[in-house]
Chain A
Amino acid sequence: MGELEAKGQRLVGLCLLGFVLFNYPFLALFNVPTFIFGIPVLYAWIFVAWAVLIAAMAWVIERRR
């Protein structure tokens, strides 16, 4: 049960992290007319942060002790 609980808490932590990343003020920081590799920096931020969040969730779930 200990490991299950630990997983649950890590995932809750990731959810909160995501809530912070996809919220003011982070979004405001990137809401500027700048491009990174030709992509508006706001779009790049959202998609990269999203992908990283999913990777972190996969890591928490699939990691074997």
Chain B
Amino acid sequence: MLQGWVIVVTSFAYLGLLFAIAYYADKRADAGRSVIASPYIYSLSLAVYATAWTFYGSVGRAAADGVGFLPIYIGPTLMIALWWVVMRKILRISKANRITSLADFIASRYGKSALLGGAVTVIAVIGIVPYISLQLKAVSNGFLILMQYPEIVMPAKVGAVPVAQDTALWVALILALFTIAFGTRHLDAAEHHEGMVAAIAFESLVKLLAFLAVGVYVTFVVYDGFGDVFARAAANPDLEPMLTPLEGVAGNYANWVWLTILSMLAIMFLPRQFQVAVVENKDERHLNKAIWLFPLYMLAINVFVLPIAFGGRLHFPAGIVDADTYVLTIPMAEKQELLALLVFIGGLSAATGMVIVETIALSTMVCNDLVMPVLLRMRSLRLNERPDLTGLLLGIRRGAIVAILLLGYLYFRLAGEAYALVSIGLISFAAVAQFAPAALGGIFWKGGTRRGAFAGLLAGFVVWAYTLLLPALARSGWLPIGLLEHGPWGLELLKPLELFGLKGLDQITHAMIWSMVANLGAYVAVSLSGSPSAEETRQASLFVDVFRGAGSAGGARFWRGTASVPQLYNLLARFLGSVGADEAFDAYARARGIAWPREQLPADAELVHHVETQLAGAIGAASARIMVASVVKEEALSLEEVRNILDEASQVVMYSHQLEQKSHELEAATTELRAANERLKELDRLKDDFLSTVTHELRTPLTSIRAFTEILNQEPEIDAAQRQKFLGIVTKETERLTRLINQVLDLAKIESGRADWHETRVDMREVILDAAGAMEQVLQEKAIRLELKLPPRAPPVRADLDRMTQVMLNLLSNAVKFCDQAAGRIEIELSERAGWLRVDVRDNGPGVAPEDREIIFEKFRQVGDTLTEKPHGTGLGLPISRHIIERHGGRIWVESKDEGACFSFTLPLARDAALDKAA
């Protein structure tokens, strides 16, 4: 059933299906309901990494050296783990600056340099052409082999058929048409190709399923599982060394590591990867899933590579069937027609996916970064006066697509036979790896300059061309082979494959080492030896500091000049069409809440920046810069000014941080100060009170002493009894005076911390009994009943005995003063609870009002008016008691319910006492 027409019809039907998917996705996108806004589609579209090289070539490489192909997939797995750091930054930068290609990214970073963008484009095109030729080779070979079914015949040498009958040429042309239909149907300011992405994701599924199908078939149907394949391989003397390949057939570990590094860079800087990962990205969060889904995809598509490779080697006699074709030829040999057709479609998917995305990415670069900058500079073309340039842009891109595919075909005719698929692909990998220093350096290092980036690219590219491209052409017979064997002009030191005598490495590792040394060396050395221009400094800041708010709005800070809105509008309309320009202006007006019509928009720096960014999306940053500069009058900022703006910006951020901190500190300080002030005022008031109270208290006894001594002095004839009585009063008042002064001194001593404390084990029972005994006389005089509720024995506390007695006496005399005058009753209770000893002194007096319960512990603050009523004491007893109790770690307070007051204090039990208790 596998006649030629079946294969052709199936192929075209498949391409038609792809087109239908793309068409549907585009329609949905126009309707605002994107089908590709999904992390799964994003992950699948990243799998455009797996091309015909993976599909056919992995098996070919595995058949030659076992695991040697795996670094190409392990590298991206490692790199994608870094995407969280690197790719998020690139995405943020690209969205803010409307970056549409890798060339645009690098050019934009280094001061929107058209030269750099052009250089990146040229390197990318030259570097990728072999890769595209690989896809053409794979598809046309697959087609030719399948056409021979049921025979298995390898295709004839490329040169043997005339160009017009060469399948590869027809494949190239069909793919060119297909890509044009996909990628350049219309001009999108953001370069989004939703239809293309949907089709690519579908193709990724198809190629994975096809490969898994053939893998399962070979492993489990032709052979009896993994173990069977490997056991047979181990029994075969030809294949046995491939089971431990790393010190033999696959070269040394250095090759393995460099291949890993190479593919780590490739997954970032292949133009098609940049296209799907950055340009077509709908949402930064899609990265989350992609970071593990994409490596999983690569793992899945590689699981069956080794069984197929060994199966092919075991199946076919050596030298008859190219190992690159085992995926197809094993099912053919087993007469599995449908499976063979599925494999062919899978290979077609892998190849078309790569070609479509790669050529679209390259055509954008060629148009925006190579052709347009040149055309716009050629004044004779008068492009500035054309009203609508969208047609021109599309035309350039379509031309570029055809040209790139024809170049691929040309390379296929020239050099395609000399290498296996994998080797051709690796040459392209090494070319795009040259972008790494400029691109990665550009987003993390502000010091990289345009000259440095250019020097690095040029040096790396020259070494790449010398060590990889030149040998490829020499081996294909287009250059004398003696060049490889003896070096140019017989200079052995300059042999392209053993440059400066570096031997023992495979070709790719050798080229990578030298090109990276040259590239990185030139980039860093030239960057450091010069200084960046104003434009470069500005862009460096926008790129490196993208997460610090230097994003889209930041760019407008750097523009100074005058512009007119109609001119800006016309400029945009010429490249985007009037519909696109209207949309752009609408969006700008909406975002700023400015009313329509657009003529009322202020033509300020923000608007100019907005227009330039929109334009950059369509024609690249460098060209956009030129175009905007042509319609507005702008003042060039000097390097000094740009630095000042940057400094200002960073200083403003710093200052505002500092200011915020300062104001917080100030606020805290103010609160403290206010509290301190309140406290001071209070203390001042207390001091005044204290002085007036003390003087008042001192004056009362002094007055009576003075009065009585005057009487005694003036009336010497006073009788003895009277004299005795007066002298008694004087003595009592003097004692009172002494007591008062002692208490004032005592309090001052305690408060200042100069009091002496003699702590011993004190039994509070005894203290209470002592105090009660001392007061017995007074109690009897006033007929007050004292009740003691004491436990038979109380645990000791650590305290100063005299001070404790002083507290008890204070509280007791206080109770005596305030208890009921007629039927006084005082109750002292001692109790123990959980590590504390508590003493309550209850009286049946008038009690203490709630608002006074704190005040009475303050100095001289007796409740009631001290001026009219005769004070009952010095007013220092309770404050002194509080100081003493708190000094011992206890608490003193007063409670007052319906009747009487209850003064209570607690003391912590001595620790050893608590232990005694516990024991």
Give A residues with C-beta under 8 Å from B.
7-8, 11-12, 14-15, 18-19, 22-24, 27-28, 31-33, 35, 37-40, 42-43, 46-47, 50-51, 53-55, 57-58, 61-62
A38 touching B84 in the complex, CB below 8 Å, given contacts A24-B253, A27-B256, A28-B253? no
Give the distance to chain A from B310, nearest Cβ to Cβ, in Å.
10
Contact yes or no, A31 B77, CB < 8 A: no
User: Bound state CA distance, A19 and B240, in angstroms?
Assistant: 28
In the complex the two chains form, is A18's CB within 8 Å of B81's CB?
yes
Which listed residue, B66, B78, B227, B253, touches A19 by the CB 8 Å rule? B78
| B230 interfacial by beta-carbon distance below 8 Å | yes
9 contacts between A and B (CB under 8 A): A8-B85, A12-B85, A23-B253, A23-B256, A27-B246, A35-B231, A43-B230, A50-B77, A61-B292
Hey, which chain B residues are within 8 Å of A12, CB to CB? Answer: 81-82, 84-85
Q: B715 an interface residue at 8 Å Cβ cutoff?
A: no
The answer to whether the Cβ of B226 comes within 8 Å of any Cβ in the partner chain is yes
Is B291 on the interface with A (CB-CB < 8 A)? yes
B244 touches A32 (CB 8 A): yes
**A38 pairs with B231, CB closer than 8 A:** yes
Chain A at the B interface: SS class? helix
Does B898 belong to the interface (CB within 8 Å)? no
Are B299 and A40 in touch, CB under 8 angstroms?
Answer: no
Contact of A42 among B82, B228, B244 (CB under 8 A): B244
Q: Quick one: which of A11, A24, A54 contacts B82, CB cutoff 8 A?
A: A11
Query: Known: A22-B74, A46-B70, A47-B299. Contact between A35 and B230, CB under 8 A?
Result: yes
**Is B94 in the interface zone, CB < 8 Å from A?**
no
Q: CB-CB < 8 A to B85: which residues of A?
A: 8, 11-12
Hey, which chain B residues are within 8 Å of A15, CB to CB?
A: 78-79, 81-82
Q: Which chain A residue has the least Cβ–Cβ distance from B227?
A: A38
How near does chain A come to B671, taking the closest CB pair, in angstroms?
30
Q: A27 to B85: give the CA distance in the assembly, Å.
A: 28
Which residues of chain A have C-beta atoms less than 8 A from B295's C-beta?
50, 53-54, 57
Q: How far is the CB of A52 from chain B (nearest CB, A)?
A: 11
* Residues on A with beta carbons closer than 8 Å to the beta carbon of B70: 46
Q: Smallest CB-CB separation from A35: which chain B residue?
A: B230
Identify 18 new A-B residue pairs, CB closer than 8 A, beyond the known A31-B245, A58-B291.
A11-B83, A12-B81, A12-B85, A14-B81, A22-B71, A27-B253, A31-B246, A33-B243, A38-B228, A40-B243, A43-B230, A50-B295, A50-B299, A54-B295, A55-B292, A57-B295, A61-B84, A61-B288
Cα of A65 to Cα of B162 in the assembled complex, Å: 65
Chain B residues, CB < 8 A from A27: 246, 253, 256
- Residues of chain A within 8 A (CB-CB) of B77 are 18, 50, 53-54
Given A42-B243, A46-B70, A54-B299, residue A62 in contact with residue B256 (CB < 8 A): no
Cβ-defined contact, B226 with A39, below 8 A? yes
Residues 234-291 of B at the A interface (beta carbon under 8 Å): 234, 240, 243-247, 253, 256-257, 260, 288-289, 291
Whether A18 lies near B246 (C-beta < 8 A) is: no
Interface residues of B in 50-94 (CB under 8 A from A): 66-67, 70-71, 74, 77-85
Whether a CB of chain A sits under 8 angstroms from the CB of B849 is no
Query: Contacts A15-B79, A27-B246, A28-B253: A38 and B226 contacting too (C-beta < 8 A)?
Result: yes
* B:695-738 near A, CB below 8 Å: none
Q: Which A residue sits closest to B294, measured CB to CB?
A: A54
Residues from chain B with a CB closer than 8 A to the CB of A54 are 77, 292, 295-296, 299
Give the docked Cα–Cα distance between A35 and B229 (Å). 12
Partner of B246, one of A11, A14, A28: A28
Query: Closest residue of chain A to B247, judged by CB?
Result: A31
Complexed CA–CA distance, A37 and B228 (Å): 11
Distance of A54 Cα from B247 Cα, bound (Å): 27
Interface of B is mostly: helix
Contacts of A62 in B (CB 8 A): 288, 292
Contact B81 A57 (CB under 8 A): yes
A58 pairs with B246, CB closer than 8 A: no
Query: B306 within 8 Å of A by Cβ?
Result: yes
How big is the B interface, by class? 35 or more
| B174 at the A interface (CB under 8 A) | no
- Distance (whole angstroms) from the CB of B417 to the closest CB of chain A: 31
Q: Shortest Cβ distance from B161 into chain A, in angstroms?
A: 40
Q: A13 to B288, alpha carbons, bound, how many Å?
A: 17
Instruction: Tell yes or no: B303 within 8 A of A by CB.
Output: yes
Once A28-B253, A61-B288 are accepted as A-B contacts, the answer to whether A40 and B296 lie under 8 Å apart by CB is no
> Quick check: B291 and A57 within 8 Å, CB to CB?
yes
A31 to chain B, nearest CB (A): 4
Residues in B204-233 with C-beta less than 8 Å from chain A: 225-228, 230-231
What sequence of 0s and 1s flags, for each residue 174-190 of chain B, a beta carbon within 8 Å of any chain A beta carbon? 00000000000000000
Cα distance A46–B71 in the bound complex, in angstroms: 10
**In the bound complex, do residue A58 and residue B292 qualify as a contact, i.e. CB atoms below 8 Å apart?**
yes
Looking at B74, B80, B240, which has the most chain A CB atoms within 10 Å of its CB?
B74
**Residues in chain B near residue A55, CB distance under 8 A:** 292
**Are A39 and B230 touching (Cβ within 8 A)?**
yes
Report chain B residues within 8 Å CB of A53.
77, 295
B411-452 CB mask vs A (1 if < 8 Å, else 0) is 000000000000000000000000000000000000000000
Structural contact, B253 and A40, CB atoms closer than 8 A? no
Nearest CB of B to A60, in Å: 9
Contacts of B292 in A (CB 8 A): 54-55, 57-58, 61-62
For the complex of A and B, list the 6 residue pairs with the smallest distance between their C-beta atoms, beginning with the closest.
A38-B227, A58-B292, A15-B81, A24-B253, A40-B243, A31-B246
Residues of A within 8 A of B247 (CB): 28, 31
Nearest CB on A from B704, distance (A): 77
Query: A14–B678 Cα gap in the complex (Å)?
Result: 59
CA distance A14 to B78 in the complex (A): 8
Q: For A32, what are the chain B residues with a Cβ–Cβ distance below 8 Å? A: 244
- Contact indicator B230/A47 (Cβ below 8 Å): no
- Min distance, Cβ B591 to any Cβ of chain A, angstroms: 25
List chain A residues, Cβ under 8 A from B83: 11
A33 to B241, CA, bound (A): 9
Give the residues from 77 to 133 in chain B that come closer than 8 angstroms, CB to CB, to chain A.
77-85
- From A13, which residue of chain B is reached at the shortest CB distance? B81
Give chain B nearest CB distance to A53 CB in angstroms.
7
List of A residues within 8 angstroms of B260 by Cβ: 19, 22
CA of A19 to CA of B75, assembled, Å? 9
B-side contacts of A47, CB under 8 Å: 299, 303
Shortest beta-carbon distance, A25 to chain B, in Å? Answer: 9
- Which of chain A's residues has its CB closest to B73's CB? A50
Of all chain B residues, which has the CB nearest A32? Answer: B244
Considering the chains assembled together, what is the distance between the CA atoms of A32 and B289 in angstroms? 36
Partner of A11, one of B225, B234, B291, B306: B291
B246 A42 Cβ-Cβ under 8 A? yes
Q: Which chain B positions have C-beta within 8 A of A61?
A: 84, 288-289, 291-292
Q: Which residue of A lies closest to B253 (CB)?
A: A24
Residues of A within 8 A of B296 (CB): 54
With a CB–CB cut-off of 8 A, which chain A residues contact B246?
A: 27-28, 31, 42
Q: Is the CB of A39 within 8 A of B74?
A: no
CB contacts (< 8 Å) of A31 on chain B: these are 244-247
User: Complex Cα distance A36/B553, Å?
Assistant: 59
Which partner residue on chain A sits nearest B547 by CB separation?
A: A1
> Closest B-chain residue to A45, C-beta based?
B67
Shortest beta-carbon distance, B158 to chain A, in Å? 35
Contact pick for A50, options B74, B227, B253, CB 8 Å: B74
**Contacting pair A11 B244 (CB below 8 A):** no
Chain A residues positioned under 8 Å from B228 (CB to CB): 38
Report which of A7, A33, A42, A58 forms a contact with B67, defined as CB distance below 8 A: A42
Question: Which residue of the partner chain A has the closest CB to B82?
Answer: A15
Report the Cα distance A42→B226, complex, angstroms. 14
Q: Which residues of A contact B71 (CB under 8 A)?
A: 22
Kindly provide the distance from the CB of A7 to the nearest chain B CB, expressed in whole angstroms.
Answer: 6
Q: Which partner residue on chain A sits nearest B257 by CB separation? A: A23
**What distance in Å separates the Cβ of B177 from its nearest Cβ neighbour in chain A?**
39
CA separation between A22 and B70, bound complex, in Å? Answer: 10
Q: How far is the CB of A65 from chain B (nearest CB, A)?
A: 14
Question: Which of the listed residues A8, A22, A53, A54 has the most CB atoms from chain B within 10 Å of its own CB?
Answer: A54
A46 to B73, CA, bound (A): 11
